[in-house]
Amino acid sequence: MTVELTPYHHFTRAEWNALRADEPMTLSAEDIERLRSLSDPISLEEAETAYLPLTRLLSLHVEAIQSLHAVSRRFLGTVEPKVPFIIGIVGSVAVGKSTTARILRALLQRWPSSPRVDLVTTDGFLHPNAVLTERGLMRRKGFPESYDRARFVAFLGDVKSGRRDIEVPIYSHLVYDVVPGEHAVIDQPDILIVEGLNILQPGVGRKTGEPVLFASDFVDFSIYVDADPADLEAWYMERFFRLRETAFRNPNSFFKRYADMSKDEAGKFGMDNWQSINLVNLRENIEPTRSRADLVLKKGGDHRLSEVLLRLV
């Protein structure tokens, strides 16, 4: 008999839900409605099933890391600044990363210790459109080379070093660009959630062989939100048509032209964007990083959690 070896422990939906134990649900159905993304039909029951066991697991990880930091301080006899616990959330366009990040943040903020939990998306670290256009990368937006990776890694290093008042660039989905001169400020949170496409990307090492820091080096716990590509395509197109009837109609929207097209014409453009950009990025860059995640949340075609994979070591 051959035993399949895997670095993950697999849980069915029911097995994962049982690990909630006595973790209380501190969000209401109205909270979930407010936090979910446009095309993500998550219910309160689904949020409980997917995220309460995860919240319990994260609480144990945070406690363990804090204990380790306390041991180091005692050994060194020093008083070090607070070191935030960083959670990375990764996955394809349209898989529901933003919903996962926002619900997780809301749940973590309501722990009995009332931790400060900040949320940052990697969109702000995209190169401005002017730079992408100059480099011929506008149709590679979201690919690893479209990000200012050095700035992103430096940001995570600053967070882990305990630096205060760190500026984070702001990205506008309305104008589809980084907003010049605008930024958010991250000031020593207890927990930082970072959500994006390529957080677990290993990057390219230097030819000299010198050590290179990657974003994943600063992430304490990583979550990959997974779904079959066929489902992702359907969700992407559903979201595209919803945006066409809402945000795209704003005169300032970068995508206003889609709202002015016929439905068939707009659908062809949307499908081309999925197949030639987002699906290629998923296959070449995002999906290969799934095996580097600490936890994989697998969704079925109905958006509901179907399976969980938890890294053993």
Residue 3 has pLDDT above 60, yes or no: no
Q: What is the mean pLDDT of residues 291-299?
A: 96
Please say if the pLDDT value at position 248 is more than 90.
no
**205 or 224: which leads in pLDDT:** 224
| pLDDT level of residue 79 (50, 70, 90 thresholds) | confident
Residue 208: the pLDDT is 56
- What's the pLDDT at 211? 53
Q: What is the pLDDT of residue 205?
A: 56
What pLDDT is attached to residue 52?
96
Delineate the domains of the chain, giving CATH numbers in brackets: 8-201+213-311 (3.40.50.300)
Please, which pLDDT band fits residue 5 given cuts at 50, 70 and 90? Answer: low
Q: What value does the mean pLDDT take over residues 122-143?
A: 96
Cα–Cα distance measured from residue 223 to residue 297, given in angstroms and rounded to the nearest whole number: 7
- Banded model confidence at residue 1, pLDDT cuts 50, 70, 90: very low
Instruction: Please say if the pLDDT value at position 123 is more than 50.
Output: yes
